[in-house]
């Protein structure tokens, strides 16, 4: 079942600069091979439910396994019969704005 998630994985109690920790989580997502896109607030991942959720778990655990308190914010769009929603949703809005 195709799933598109927006996930934010962030450490707590590690100081003011979070980028090195966020980069560790994003590296796991990128290495997964699933379609993804990182923005300033979230990383979106698309693929089959089990694969996407395994990547979210692994990206979370890369921090949690270091003893770091880790917060995960997750939004999911499960849309049977559709793929390519990572880019298609934005394209649909851009097409309407261009009219």
Q: How far apart are CA 27 and CA 22, in angstroms?
A: 9
5-25 per-position pLDDT tens digit: 999 999 999 988 999 999 999
Specify the number of domains making up the chain. Answer: 1
Q: What is the CATH number of the domain that holds 32?
A: 3.30.70.930
pTM for the model stands at 0.91
75-99 per-position pLDDT tens digit: 999 999 999 999 999 999 999 999 9
Q: How does DSSP assign 5-64, residue by residue?
A: EEEEEEEESS-S--HHHHHHHHHHHHHT-S-EEE-SS-EEEEEEHHHHHHHHHHHHHHHH
| Domain extent at residue 92 | 2-98
Per-residue confidence band for 40, with pLDDT thresholds at 50, 70 and 90: very high
Q: Confirm if 59 and 9 have CB atoms less than 8 A apart.
A: yes
Q: In whole numbers, what is the pLDDT of the chain averaged over residues?
A: 96
């Amino acid at each position: 079942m195709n799933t598109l998630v927006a996930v934010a994985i962030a450490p707590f109690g590690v100081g003011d600069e979070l980028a090195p920790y966020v980069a560790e989580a994003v590296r796991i997502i990128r290495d997964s091979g699933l379609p993804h896109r990182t923005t300033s607030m979230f990383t979106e991942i698309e693929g089959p439910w089990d694969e996407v959720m395994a990547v979210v778990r692994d990206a979370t655990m890369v921090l949690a396994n270091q003893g770091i308190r880790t917060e995960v914010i997750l939004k999911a769009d499960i849309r049977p019969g559709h793929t390519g929603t990572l880019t298609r949703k934005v394209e649909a809005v851009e097409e309407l704005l261009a009219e």
